[in-house]
Amino acid sequence: MQQAEIKFEREDLEGLVAVGTYLAEAARRMGIELAVEEFDETEYAIVKISRGSELLSAPTKTEIENLSDERLAGGERFADQAKIERAGEITIMTTKKQEPEKPEYEAKREAYRREFEELPLEKKVASLVELESIALSETLSFVINSPYKIVGALMDVLAEFGLKMEADAKNQARPAEHRTAEDDGQPSDGEKNKSRKTTRVKKSEPPSPSV
């Protein structure tokens, strides 16, 4: 299997990935969370190719429609649209990810933590004991009322369904230029020919006259 050497400059990380891998998938494998930009209410992770752009697939229709000629010429690509097609060295510069604002529950949690720190020791201990009692009571209630076999079977079904959904989502997320008939659930030419062969029935010969 051919491999390409990929390096993420900002994160100072590098590694080998198989030819046929999308840049977004390579980033995920290396634990890199890419910054996204919104185009017509759709978010795309954008990276800049510093070296090795010739080793990638050509810009897709989606990229051409959303990225200006200047940005494409500057090496910018949608990470989930750019696929490694040849072995070699690829260097990528990611966009610095902006820190999201703290959601409301985070602010409340921080306020509760400060409030708890200001309590005297006796009240701190009492609050912790009360919380432990509540958690233990809810856990015991769940265990007693849960039919183990049904829960186990349900989890297996959900896991299998989740894997299928994940595989379907990956296929649908691929650019149209990179999809095959099999990805869209259509039988390949080989399967069509095989199907035709199996449906043919050999006509029986009429019995020869007895002498």
pLDDT, tens digit (0-9, with 9 covering 90-100), for 105-138 = 677 777 777 777 777 877 777 777 777 777 777 7
pLDDT recorded at residue 195: 53
Rounded to two decimals, what is the model's pTM? 0.52
Q: Tokens at residue 63, please?
A: 């990229």
pLDDT recorded at residue 194: 55
Per-domain boundaries in the chain: 3-94, 121-158
> DSSP label at 182?
T
Strand 89-94 relative to strand 3-8, pairing = parallel
Q: Tokens at residue 146, please?
A: 């849960």
Which tens digits make up the pLDDT trace of 192-202?
555 555 545 44
Cβ neighbours for 72, distance < 8 A, ≥ 6 positions apart = 59, 63, 64
Name residue 61's beta-bridge partners.
Answer: none
On whether the CB atoms of residues 26 and 83 are closer than 8 A, the answer is no
Which tens digits make up the pLDDT trace of 57-66?
999 999 999 9
At 101, the pLDDT band (50, 70, 90 cuts) reads low
Superfamily of domain 3-94, CATH level 4: Beta-grasp domain (3.10.20.30)
Q: Considering only residues 163 and 2, tell me which one the structure prediction assigns the higher pLDDT.
A: 2
How far out from the chain centre does Cα 201 lie? 46
Task: Judge whether residue 206 has pLDDT over 60.
Answer: no
On whether the CB atoms of residues 44 and 50 are closer than 8 A, the answer is no
On whether the CB atoms of residues 116 and 131 are closer than 8 A, the answer is no
